[in-house]
Amino acid sequence: MKGKWAAGIPPRNLTWVLPGILAVSERPGGQAATHRKVRRQEEVIWLRENGFDVVISVLTSPQNLAAYAELSMESAHHPVPKVGDVTPALVELYGDIVARQAQGQQMLLHADELGDWIIGIVAGYLLWTGRLPDTPTATTVAEQLFGRQLGSQGRSLVAVVAEHGPRS
C-alpha cells in the first residue's frame, strides 16, 4: 500500500475517554448494514500505525475478530449482552481494561455503533474504577464527552454498576 492510504484512516466517531489510553469508536469498517471490508482494513491499519495495542469488542458476536488477526492487530472479545444480567460481562470487561492500562497498553473499545449502549458502558467504567464519584457525575461526564444525552439503555448500564458497587 502506497501514498496517503498507507497510514489508513481513523475509525468513525473516534473519541478519547482517557487520552493516550482508551478510545471508543464504532466498529472498524462501519455498522453492520454499512460495513465495508476495505474501510475496516484502512481503519485497522490506522489504529496500528497510531500506537493502538489492542481492539476490544463488546459485540455479542465475534464480528471482525478474524480480520484483526489477519492484519496483526491484537483483539479481545468481551460480549456485553443487551438483555439479561450484564454484571459478569461488565466486571470481566472492566477488569481487562484496568489490567491492560497497568501494562501501558493503548486500547480502542468498540460496539457496532457509537450509541447509547457503548456510552453507557464507558460511563459505567468511569464509575466502576472510581474515576468518578457517583452515577449522576458519570452520566454527565459521558454526555459531555460524547456530545449527546444518555438514553435509557445507557443509563441502565450505569445503574447496574452503581447497584453492584464500584471497585474500590
CA distance 92 to 84: 16
Residues 108-126 have pLDDT tens digits of: 999 999 999 999 999 999 9
Q: Which residues contact 166 (CB under 8 A, 6 or more apart)?
A: 127, 128, 129, 130
CA distance 59 to 3: 33
Residues 67-106 have pLDDT tens digits of: 999 999 999 999 999 999 999 999 999 999 999 999 999 9
Residues 17-63 have pLDDT tens digits of: 999 999 999 999 877 766 788 889 999 999 999 999 999 999 999 98
- Residue 32 is predicted with a pLDDT of 72
32: three-class secondary structure by DSSP: helix
Sorting pLDDT into bands at 50, 70 and 90, what band is 1?
A: very low
- Residue 30 is predicted with a pLDDT of 77
Residues 132-158 have pLDDT tens digits of: 999 999 999 999 999 999 999 999 999
Between these two residues, 2 and 83, which has the higher pLDDT value? 83
CA distance 97 to 107: 8
